Chains A and B, each alone.
Chain A
Amino acid sequence: MSQNVDKQPEQAGNKLFIDVGSTYFKVSTPTSIEQHFRDFNKTILDDLMHKCGSTVDQFAKEDIYICSSANGGLSTLLIGITNSFSIKYATNIAFNSGINIIDTVLLQNIEEYSIPSDLIDVVIIVGGTDSHGNIFNDSLYNYVQQLNYSNIVYVGTQQDAARVQENIPGLVVLPNIIDDRLHIVEEHLKEYLTNLYQQDIEGKEDIKHLYEKTANQIFSTPYIVNKALPLIDASFTVANPFILLDIGGATTDVHYSKDLVDENIVTENEYDRLVFKKLGVYKSRQSLIFAAKNNEFVYELLMHLKVTENIFNEHDEKATKILMQLAIFLVLCKMSHYRKAYITLKLLSINSIVFTGGITKVLSVAEVEDIIAFFYKKILTSDHKPTAILDTNYDIWTLGAKEKNLCR
């Protein structure tokens, strides 16, 4: 499956931008954008060269820029001491670094948590201001000993740092992410996680081969999208405040303006990112259906869309369309007071919702707006109708890639 969209040459400069997703890859030249469904029997490089080899070969290695979200990002387990501060702050930093959180553990109840069986890319231990000590004890060490992880980092009170380091081999100690006024300090952990993510992308066998085609660093796609947000007016008529939903094959990313949250986190970012790891329409299809079946409003939504739950067993174009509509509804639910997940956005203040990712190739504006209206009516009991904007040509990603390119 591929698609070509004409673009004006001056829009993208003389560069080639490639985005490798879990389901599709996109190739943007100064004059067109191609989108291809990935062939999972081939390596990414082979697939790319098979489908777009002639395009790629027209550009020098220095003029090719690649970003990827194909591996879904790093998985993180957070161990903190409160939900309002240490866990919330670490969650915010992890999301903004392109990291996905598989679970959070509250230290005081650590013995009640089950041990995740999967390999965790990075464990983050956090808690306490530097004026407080003796927080971490044997219950933490016993729990950590049972985990299967690749990296572990401590960003809690400096009073406990040495003792925790003695008890946990390989522990990296960074400055506390909570300052003495209980405010967040992002930079050290963010830099550490961003570098880990970067190393992970570069280390993946599939991605590594792409360096045969580019002389530039391969970045994570969420990072590139986040770079584009302040410039979004250049390509779209977006009324602020807005949220951007990137509903992909494996995960769903939400980028939102900081004006939309009433939180005790004060950071320098204009936009924050939130990711739902198991909400996607291809790789994460089963977990999306599971989430849908557990949402009492979904059956009403299916009736509204004139289908039954049998659609979950079908795999045709119509089923994909319905799943994408459900994904929009479920993401909006997760950001509302109903089914709150990590953060609640002021959805009644939103004027635009921008959609990017594979969803823009399947749904029309009318179909998206229908779901938005259903959500506002049923969940927020409001007639508010934010405008839906579909980034059909992947302008946002191109904008972010260009911005990153210009910054270099």
Chain B
Amino acid sequence: MKVVTGVVGNDIHVVANRLIDLSLRARGFDVFNLGVNTYLEEFFDAAVETGADVILISSLNGEAEGWGREVRAIKSRYKTLDDIIMMIGGNLVVGSGNAEDIEPRYKNYGFDIVCHQIDLNTGLDMLEEFIKERNNP
């Protein structure tokens, strides 16, 4: 299964990005890592070029808050991405916030899986679980 990953917006948290890349590969995913400072359009364009099944966006400094709002509008411009799994993880707000408020907000933005301040392996378990459920409803 192919995953496009990267850090959205003006965010250079490269260590987390590398860890996500390594962890995804260790779980058998085919990873296309766009690195840090990635525009939202580039995630979708990369998914089109690679035929990816999942877009996994990470964000550590609250950049996702601004970019997340654009997800539905930008995704709607693409004719082949209706079934793509949208996942986001990291520190998803500026300052502090609780997951109960943040998760529905990001789901409303168009994400299927939202991991606010959840450790990486738990987040990737959630992804695998989501894929399993989707494949065997």
Contact = CB atoms under 8 A, between A and B. Distances in A.
Contacts of A131: 2, 30, 50-51
B32 interface: yes
Nearest to B38: A264
Interface stretch (B41-49, B57-65, B92-100, B125-133): B41-49
Report the interface size class on chain A. 10 to 19
Contacts of A181: 32-33
B49 A81 contact: yes
Interface stretch (A82-90, A234-242, A380-388): A82-90
A133 B50 CA distance: 9
A285 B48 CA distance: 40
B50 A81 contact: no
A21 B23 CA distance: 57
B108 interface: no
B48 A182 contact: no
Contact of B49 (A108, A127, A133, A262): A127
Contacts, number: 49
A132 B79 contact: no
Nearest to A129: B50
Contact of A129 (B37, B42, B49, B79): B49
Given A108-B80, A264-B34, A132 B42 contact: no
Nearest to A80: B49
A213 to B, nearest CB: 48
Interface string A120-152: 000000011101110100000000000000000
Contacts of A182: 32, 34, 46, 49-50
Nearest to B49: A85
Given A129-B50, A178-B49, A84 B42 contact: yes
A82 B48 contact: yes
Residue in A84, A108, A135, A181 with the greatest tally of chain B CB atoms within 10 Å: A84
A84 B41 contact: yes
A83 B41 contact: yes
B78 interface: yes
Contact of A128 (B33, B34, B49): B49
A83 B46 CA distance: 10
A128 B46 CA distance: 9
Contact of A82 (B37, B45, B51, B79): B45
Contacts of B44: 82
B70 to A, nearest CB: 15
A127 B48 CA distance: 9
Interface string B21-41: 000000000101110010101
B34 to A, nearest CB: 7
A362 B110 CA distance: 57
A86 to B, nearest CB: 6
A85 B46 contact: yes
A132 B80 CA distance: 13
A135 B45 CA distance: 13
Contacts of A178: 49
Given A82-B49, A181-B32, 7 more contacts: A81-B49, A84-B42, A84-B45, A129-B32, A129-B49, A182-B46, A262-B37
9 contacts: A82-B48, A83-B45, A84-B42, A84-B45, A131-B2, A131-B30, A133-B51, A178-B49, A182-B46
